[in-house]
Amino acid sequence: MKRLRLTSIVLALGSLPLAAQLIGTDDFSYADTTTVFIADKAGGTGFNYDNFDGVATPTKSDWDAVGGAPTVVDGALITDNSSAKREYNGDIEGAGDASNDGQDDHERSGAVRGTGRVFYKVDLTRTAAAMWSGMSSYDFGAERIFFGVPGAGAATDTVGIEESGVGTTLAASATLTDGTTHVLVAVVDFDFDQLALFVDPSSTDCYDTATGLNTADVVRAYTGTNWSTAIRLGSGGEAAWDNLEVAFDPTEVGLFDGICDEDSDGLPTEWELANGLDDKDDGTIGETSFGAKDGPNGALGDPDSDGATNLQEFNNGTNPNDADTDDDNLDDGDEINTFASDPLDPDTDDDCLPDGREANSLDPGYTNTDPN
């Protein structure tokens, strides 16, 4: 893909700590249910979080068969033209009303109410017979958002995000391989009005909750004001699911929460992309010698040949593709490394003489004056 990974937490019923920012997990360690289906099973940890009051409750939600007959086989949920749904809290399902706010055993109390964000993580193994397969955010009984391989991507196993009744955004290149287990991580972010899907993320993949910036494979704008109350796993054709996690915090699903730097070269991913640099190359491509990492995309690179490295350009706010960012006829590298003048101010000392004229002028009256 370009990008992720996870965690495993064992918690006693009703003991989910608030600091974990975890809604629930399920590794489907049930007895095989080829005849007794996943419906009504309530294993795993959590799924008892009252988001209205911010507390764990004594009452867990359970699985519901939304369509067909989803089963558990060898410690994995199997869907085959079927799907299963689990609420974030409580065993009383439905929208209810304001009188149910904070009710420990009610689905309404676990809802993410159109603000904040919710993260999903799951292992998915598709068979060749699978068409669509994915995880969905439910607003009580209504599917609102789908993450995975939608119908539009089924022919090529391409992942995407589908907004019910609105449209689908497919990944540019991220696909799933039949018979191979892939990790999917998704987020519904009401605060930054977006949806994101990661496929097989690495330890450098990120979701910055302060800005919404991320390294996802697919991002789709989303301005829905609905609630998110449950997750559904399902497929057309056979698929296997395992290691489900639902959380409020990206770190609980294996993502880094902070400034994204996918290639760990010291340059933020956002800055690299904004300046046309490869955010997945740490300078190895085009390096002058093995291990030098001074290729044009890395921190030590100098694509505009101005004598300033990309890291220096980032730290000074200059353009790595423009040798003279402030157009004062003095290269950024000279301003940073030789004259200590301001590479963003054409007249650092405000004497009405451009820095370049003071440092390099051919006029004998101005040659080698101090731009500071």
Give the chain's domains with CATH numbers: 18-253 (2.60.120.200), 310-360 (no CATH)
Low-confidence residues of the chain, pLDDT below 50?
1-20, 362-366
CA distance 232 to 142: 10
CA distance 32 to 34: 6
Q: What are 27's two structure tokens?
A: 């590794």
- CA 359 to centroid of chain Cα atoms: 47
Nearest alpha-carbon partner for 201 in 156, 260, 149, 137: 260
Nearest alpha-carbon partner for 107 in 60, 66, 147, 75: 60
Q: How many CB atoms lie within 10 A of CB 323?
A: 19
CA distance 271 to 45: 39
Q: How many CB atoms lie within 10 A of CB 368?
A: 9
For residue range 49-73, what is the model confidence (pLDDT) as tens digits?
Answer: 999 999 999 999 999 999 999 999 9
CA distance 93 to 271: 45
pTM for this entry: 0.81
DSSP one-letter string for 160-183: EEEETTTEEEEEEEEE--TTSEEE
pLDDT for res 298? 96
pLDDT for res 120? 99
- CA 368 to centroid of chain Cα atoms: 51
pLDDT for res 12? 33
With the C-alpha atoms ordered 47, 50, 56, 57, is the resulting torsion angle positive or negative? Answer: negative
CA distance 45 to 196: 25
Q: How many CB atoms lie within 10 A of CB 247?
A: 25
Q: Which residues pair with 246 in a beta bridge?
A: 24, 120
Q: Which residues pair with 24 in a beta bridge?
A: 46, 246
Question: What is the helix (H) or strand (E) element at residue 126, kind and residue range?
Answer: strand 117-126
CA distance 86 to 312: 50
- By CB atoms closer than 10 A (0-12, 13-18, 19+), residue 286 is middle
DSSP one-letter string for 62-117: -EEEEES--EEETTEEEEEEEEEEEESS-SB-S---GGGTT-TTBGGGG-B-SSSE
For residue range 286-307, what is the model confidence (pLDDT) as tens digits?
Answer: 999 999 999 999 999 999 999 9
CA distance 266 to 301: 12
pLDDT for res 9? 26
CA distance 125 to 128: 10
Contact indicator for 293, 283 with CB cutoff of 8 Å: yes
CA distance 299 to 307: 13
CA distance 210 to 127: 38
Contact indicator for 60, 23 with CB cutoff of 8 Å: no
